[in-house]
Amino acid sequence: MEKKNVWEKYQGMKQQEVFDFGEGYKSFLSACKTERECVKEFVLQAQAAGYRDLHAVLKEGGSIASGDKLYAVNMDKSLILFVIGRKRLTEGMNILGAHIDSPRLDIKQNPLYEDTQMALLDTHYYGGVKKYQWVALPLAIHGVVVKKDGTVIEVNVGEKEDDPVFGISDLLVHLSKDQMEKKAAKVIEGENLDLLVGSMPAVCNEEDKEKAKDTVKANILKLLQEQYQIEEDDFLSAELEVVPAGKARDYGFDRSMVMGYGHDDRVCAYASFKAMLEAGSCEKTTACLLVDKEEIGSVGATGMDSKYFEYMVKELLHATGEDSPVAFARTMMASQMLSTDVNAAFDPLFPEVMEKRNCSYMGRGIVFSKYTGRGGKGGSNDANPEYIAKLRRIFDDNDISFQMAELGKVDQGGGGTIAFILAAYGMQVIDSGVPVLNMHAPWEIISKADLYETKQGYRVFLKEA
């Protein structure tokens, strides 16, 4: 069954509301290109909305009661928001869960070298990327350098108008006969994704010139010391991410879309966060999980596979007087979750990878995916039909436009989300999010209408599920 284009139901002030929400999202997406930047911005907005640091509340022995707004930060790279409901925790939570990491290039720990009087930084790509898409683009460097004394130096170079940008060179077409015959996966090798960062030798006298080695590298190190107090050894304890330089932009003559870096999955993270702020206090306790490392399997201390969320729920149970393994189990099994992650939008230029009756379309609202995974649903969470029926009713009753979709044809590939990790606790989980064009490319595309409708749907879920 074909769904209507969401824009058709927006008129006058409602359409302006959609565009205004898109402006806020563009500002967020332009400023927050790493996990740390996302967490920092979300915490500032949460504090302004009356949220308190859960760790500080627990440390001070403060009580937790219905209506309390709390947040918990894990290593500056993942974030949980809670709003305590009127019902007991053991009656379950309504949970939104997105990831805030995106495909990128990470600078290695011993990265800086010189070759033919050009200084370069060695990188290691992160997540699923088409490596050839990352060459001949203006790139920026974001992240932190932590010195031995614990000093944290924030780095953000390439975003301001007067900043330099960086890049990875590509082979000129005049000499690319052999390159053009390679498979796409081999056109650019991972070890050749090295960032060009300088070509000017350090200034030295004639005697030193004859003895000097790697003078361009020496000049880069001199500039890093002068501008950031960074020495070469400090790369050992740095977390520097190479991302596309530039702001998110309106896309199309009608400005109905947004082009930006990191829609997957910051578009759902932003919609989830804003839905939490708008929903306020609900019958059930609500939670918003904004986690790291999804693009590499949700591993590590800041990924969804860590125990951090579990520990925070146990802290809440302890603070509300229901501290037992049974209380925790009951809480998780009674909970419901929307795994808020993107889906692939139908692209008329590549129709062969989609099955038109079961794919998502831009402009038709939030996407539900009963299952993701690969091939025979490998690695997926497969949502229960009873849960889907409940969500259909809630969304229809609130005029939320939604569509059901798979991630392309069965044998074309596939992908996963954090859904199966939470489903392991016995809670009801389904994937839901915004359709995206160019997914995992340096610049991705989404519809402002889908973004707005998704936020509205998440808010309704928190209040009524």
pLDDT tens for each residue of 289-338:
999 999 999 999 999 999 999 999 999 999 998 889 999 999 999 999 99
Per-residue pLDDT band at 375 (split at 50, 70, 90): confident
In whole angstroms, what is the distance from residue 236 CA to residue 202 CA? Answer: 24
Indicate if the pLDDT at residue 385 is higher than 70. Answer: yes
Indicate if the pLDDT at residue 206 is higher than 70. Answer: no
Give the CA angle between residues 389, 394, 395 to the nearest 5°.
95
Computed on alpha carbons and rounded to an integer, the radius of gyration of the chain in Å comes to: 24
pLDDT tens for each residue of 400-427:
999 999 887 887 777 778 899 999 999 9
Report how far apart, in Å, the C-alpha atoms of 10 and of each of 4, 5, 26, 250, 428 are: 12, 10, 20, 19, 32
- Mean pLDDT, residues 124-129 taken together: 96
The CATH code that applies to domain 6-102+261-464 is: 3.40.630.10
Q: Where are the domains of the chain?
A: 6-102+261-464, 104-244
In whole angstroms, what is the distance from residue 310 CA to residue 332 CA? Answer: 9
Question: 213 burial class (0-12, 13-18, 19+ CB within 10 angstroms)?
Answer: exposed
- The first and second tokens of residue 294, run together, are 């999804």
* Number of neighbours of residue 422 by Cβ within 10 angstroms: 23
Question: What is residue 411's predicted lDDT score, i.e. its pLDDT?
Answer: 72
Q: Which fold has domain 104-244?
A: Aminopeptidase i, Domain 2 (2.30.250)
- The first and second tokens of residue 183, run together, are 């498979």
Question: Residue 155's closest CA among 238, 218, 222, 76?
Answer: 238
Range name among 16-25, 140-149, 243-252, 375-384 with the lowest pLDDT average: 375-384
- Neighbouring-strand partners of residue 80: 72, 289
**300 DSSP assignment:** S
Range name among 266-270, 377-381, 443-447 with the lowest pLDDT average: 377-381
| Alpha-helix runs per DSSP H in 63-155 | none
pLDDT tens for each residue of 80-89:
999 999 999 9
- Neighbouring-strand partners of residue 444: 260
In whole angstroms, what is the distance from residue 7 CA to residue 374 CA? Answer: 32
* Number of neighbours of residue 209 by Cβ within 10 angstroms: 12
pLDDT tens for each residue of 57-110:
999 887 899 999 999 999 999 999 999 999 999 999 999 999 999 999 999 999
Pairing of strands 195-198, 152-157: unpaired
Please check whether residue 125 is in contact with residue 211, taking contact to mean a CB–CB distance below 8 angstroms: no
pTM: 0.95
Per-residue pLDDT band at 380 (split at 50, 70, 90): confident
Indicate if the pLDDT at residue 205 is higher than 80. Answer: no
In whole angstroms, what is the distance from residue 91 CA to residue 87 CA? Answer: 7
In whole angstroms, what is the distance from residue 261 CA to residue 270 CA? Answer: 14
Q: SS3 helix, strand, coil % of the chain, rounded to 5?
A: 35, 25, 40
Please check whether residue 112 is in contact with residue 119, taking contact to mean a CB–CB distance below 8 angstroms: yes
In whole angstroms, what is the distance from residue 284 CA to residue 87 CA? Answer: 5
